[in-house]
Each structure stands twice: as structure tokens, then as C-alpha cells.
Amino acid sequence: MAFGHFSDDEVHESADINVTPLVDVMLVLLIVFMITMPVLTHSIPLTLPTTANPQQKAEPKAPLRLSIGADGEYKLGDKSLTLTQLQNNLHSEVQANPDVVLAIAADKHVAYDHVAQVLAAARDAGLVKVGFVTEDK
């Protein structure tokens, strides 16, 4: 828009906005988005495994809870065990259920050697699912 007064003897420049560069930028952005959108929505075709009986859902079993006291005492559930008894119990549990989960709750002040012995016993028994119980602050 031009502002000023109308007179025949003065020449005034026009103060209009030039929209040509704006249109150029918008067209470039439109082309960039048209090219990148099919790349962003590309998906990988997957063939997921199915179960033999879809109505039957396997309920997860409760994990074996092993507590290691500060003095190195092993408790599987409520029973106090020695390391050899623990190894035998873990082996029998794996024989009964190969997907058994061992949850180790070790005292904060226990020597790491006791935890390492339990991990070695679990490995020797064939346990593949071992977790550690922690506390939230």
C-alpha cells in the first residue's frame, strides 16, 4: 500500500509487499514435504508367529524368590538352604518347568561372592531367566 498525498509534480515509490519470494519458499516446502512423507510412512512387512490354540493363554507363573541375607544365608521361599541344597532345588525346578524365573533379593551388605555363587548355581541348573529384586526410593 502506498501512503502519501496525491500531487502531479512529485514521484513516489510504491511500498507494496513483494510476495514472489514467499510463494517460491512455500512451493519448495510443499515439494520437500511431498517427497519425505512417503518415506516416513514406510513400514516393514512382518509375519508374526501364531499360537496353535488362540483361546488358551498361558498364565505366567510366580517366580522363585531367593533371598540372600547379609550373613550369606540362602532362603528359597521360607526354607533356609545350603548352597548344595539350593543347587539341587534349582535343578529340580528347571526339570519341572524349563521357563521358571528366579528372582534374587540380596541384602545390600551381602558379599558379592554369595550372589556370584547363586548365579553360577542357576547357570549350572539351566536357568535362563534370572532377575534381581530392588527397592524404589
pLDDT digits (tens, 9 = 90+) for 107-126: 888 888 999 999 999 999 98
- CATH code for the domain of 70: 3.30.420.270
Structural domain contains residue 22: no
Q: What is the mean pLDDT of residues 53-71?
A: 76
- Asked whether residue 97 is assigned to any structural domain, the reply reads yes
The CB density around residue 45, as the number of other CB atoms within 10 Å, is: 4
* pLDDT for residue 10: 63
Confidence grade of residue 31 (pLDDT, cut at 50, 70, 90) = very high
Read off the pLDDT band of 56 (50, 70, 90). low
123: left (phi over 0), alpha (psi -120 to 50) or beta: alpha
Residue 5 confidence (pLDDT):
58
Q: What is the pTM of this model?
A: 0.55
Residue range of the domain that includes 104: 64-132
Q: Reduced to 3 DSSP states, what percent helix, strand and coil does the chain have, rounded to the nearest 5?
A: 35, 15, 50
Question: Looking at residues 46-61, what average pLDDT do you find?
Answer: 67
Sequence-ordered strand ranges (E) for the chain: 64-68, 74-76, 79-81, 101-106, 129-132
Domain count across the chain: 1
Q: List the one residue out of 131, 127, 130, 59 whose CA is nearest residue 93.
A: 127
Which of 62, 87, 67, 85 minimizes the C-alpha distance to 77? Answer: 67
Distance in angstroms (rounded) separating the CA atoms of residues 125 and 93: 9
CB 75 within 8 A of CB 81: yes
Question: What's the pLDDT at 11?
Answer: 64
Decide if 107 is inside a domain: yes
pLDDT score recorded for residue 55: 62
Report if residue 100 sits inside a domain.
Answer: yes
Which residues face 67 on adjacent strands?
Answer: 75, 105
Domain assignment present for residue 85? The answer is yes
Residue-wise pLDDT for 65-115, tens only, equals: 999 988 888 998 888 888 999 999 999 988 988 888 999 998 888 888 999
**What is the C-alpha separation between 109 and 131, in angstroms, rounded?**
18
Q: Is 41 part of a structural domain of the chain?
A: no
The mean per-residue pLDDT over the stretch 24-34 comes to 93
| Cross-strand partners of 132 | 104
